[in-house]
Amino acid sequence: MYAHVAWCYDAVAQAYSLGAIGRAKRWHVAHVRPGDRVLYIGAGTGREVAPACDAGAEAVCVEPCNAMARRLRRRLSPWPDRCRVIEQPLRAADGAGTFDWVCGHFFFNVFADDAMPGVLTMAASHVRPGGRLITADFAPGSGKATSRLLRAAYYRPVNLAGWGLGMCALHPIYDYAPPLEALGFAVESRTGFTVAPHTPALYEVVCARKEQGG
């Protein structure tokens, strides 16, 4: 289904979030060093991959949707030696345990709650010991009741629309920190992104480091 929305996906995401989605997805770019190997899972059109490559990252992008992958390749064409696009679903074998960073932005929320932990586990297996898994996504409900209500009111219609279009499963907002800790990761930071001033963060970037023995 992503094939039908690839042409407008980025513009809709930017408009719906007033730019917050783009800011959340780019968060990691400031932390990537030249030569770092970064795996982008469900990379989409790769808006945040281009600045990471510009900063010296070596990117491997997994994106099974042809229409998304075509845009991704075009965007990454200035760095032919440092980018690879795998036009298939994520597999356990795609460079397991070798990546400095694994980014799954707005990717794990595609899956139903009985499937998501398995996908997260597979993604985590690609991180090298001491490397990091990062995910930008909707911020899970916490804090005051009014904040929780606002987050749910903001998220539910888009989850329903995405489900109706066959783009994701119906589920509540996921909190990735507990399953990542159970997988041997230490959550280093949770960074919120607001859509408007004086409102709670509606998006969050979770950055988790794989323990050396993990």
Ligand X SMILES: C[S@@+](CC[C@H](N)C(=O)[O-])C[C@H]1O[C@@H](n2cnc3c(N)ncnc32)[C@H](O)[C@@H]1O
Q: Residues in the site for ligand X, rule: CB under 6 A?
A: 2, 25, 41-44, 62-65, 68, 89-90, 105-107, 110
Q: How many CB atoms lie within 10 A of CB 110?
A: 17
Nearer to ligand X, 106 or 185 (CB): 106
Which position's Cβ is nearest ligand X?
Answer: 42
Nearer to ligand X, 113 or 181 (CB): 113
Residues with Cβ within 8 Å of residue 24, at least 6 apart in sequence: 105, 136, 137, 191, 193, 203, 204, 205
Nearer to ligand X, 147 or 162 (CB): 162
Q: CB of 198: closest distance to ligand X in angstroms?
A: 26
Residues with Cβ within 8 Å of residue 200, at least 6 apart in sequence: 139, 143, 147, 150, 151, 192, 194
Q: CB of 173: closest distance to ligand X in angstroms?
A: 14
End-to-end C-alpha distance for the chain, whole angstroms:
36
Q: How many CB atoms lie within 10 A of CB 87?
A: 15
Nearer to ligand X, 121 or 147 (CB): 121
Q: CB of 91: closest distance to ligand X in angstroms?
A: 8
